[in-house]
Amino acid sequence: MVALSPCNWQRTALRSAYITTGDAQGAQQTLDAIIAAGGAGRLLAFDVANRAQCREVLDNDLAEHGAWYGVVSNAGIARDAAFPALSDDDWDAVIHTNLDSFYNVIQPCMMPMISARRGGRIITLSSVSGVMGNRGQVNYSAAKAGIIGATKALAIELAKRKITVNCIAPGLIDTGMIEMEETAFKEAMSMIPMKRMGQAQEVAGLASYLMSDIAGYVTRQVISINGGML
C-alpha cells in the first residue's frame, strides 16, 4: 500500500479519494494520519478484482457523496514463477488484481467526474517490470505493462476535460511485497546506480505532486522512481 505522508495529505485529502489495497489495519492507520493532518476521509472495503462488488460500493459512495476529484489506483500482488511453471490461478489472480482493477475502480468514477466539470486527477501504479519486463514475472510484467497502455490511452480521452492521467513506475521499493532470496536481491541491487531500495514515502511524494494543482499540465506520463535503473 502506498500512502501520502501526513504533511502532503493536508493539501489534497479534502477533495481526493485514494484506493488502497492491503489489510484493514493499514487502511485505518492511513485514515488516522489524514485526520491528524487536518484532512477528512472514509474507508471503502471491496475487492478490486471483483467487478460487481466494485461497482456496487463505488456507485453507492458516489451517489451519497458526489464525484471524486482524484483516484490513485495502486492495487498490486505478485505470484512469481518461471513461465513454464506458472499456474492458471497465478496468472489469473495477478491479471485480475493488477490490471482488471484499472477498469473496475476507475471506470465507475468517470462519468461523475466528467459531469462535475471541475477537472480531476488519476494516478496509476505500474512497475519497472511493466517497463522492462522481469524474469519470473511474466504475469506481473504483462499486467503492469497493460496499466501503462491504459493510462496513456485514458489520458488522451480526458485531456480536454482537464482531468490528468499519469502513471508512476516504481523500481525496488521497501514494502511488504519484497521477498527475495539473497542472491536475487544482490543481483537486483547491482542494477541500481544508487545502491539502495526506494522508500514508500518517495513514491508518495510524487503522487502528492501529481494530485496537486501545480501538476495541471502534466498528463499521459510514465514517471519512474527506481534509483537510476534504465
Q: What angle in degrees, to the nearest 10, is found between the helix axes of 107-116 and 51-65?
A: 20
pLDDT at 8: 41
* Torsion region of 128: left, alpha or beta (phi above 0 gives left; psi -120 to 50 gives alpha): alpha
φ and ψ of 11, to 5 deg: -80, -30
In the structure grid, which three cell numbers stand for residue 5, read together? 505522508
**126-140 burial, b if ≥16 CB within 10 A, otherwise e?**
bbbbbbbebebbbbb
Confidence of residue 213 (pLDDT cuts 50, 70, 90): very high
Q: What ranges do the domains of the chain cover?
A: 6-225
pLDDT at 26: 81
Residues 99 and 1: their CA atoms lie apart, in Å, by 16
User: Between 71 and 26, where is the model more confident?
Assistant: 71
Which tens digit of pLDDT belongs to each residue from 81-109? 999 999 999 999 999 999 999 999 999 99
CATH number of the 6-225 domain: 3.40.50.720
Active site residues: 140
Look at residues 209, 51, 137 and name the one whose alpha carbon lies nearest to residue 225: 209
Please provide the average confidence, as pLDDT, over all residues in the chain. Answer: 89
Confidence of residue 27 (pLDDT cuts 50, 70, 90): confident
pLDDT at 179 over 80: no
Which residues lie closer than 8 Å to 54 by C-beta, 6 or more apart?
A: 46, 47, 48, 101, 104, 105, 108
Residues 159 and 219: their CA atoms lie apart, in Å, by 8
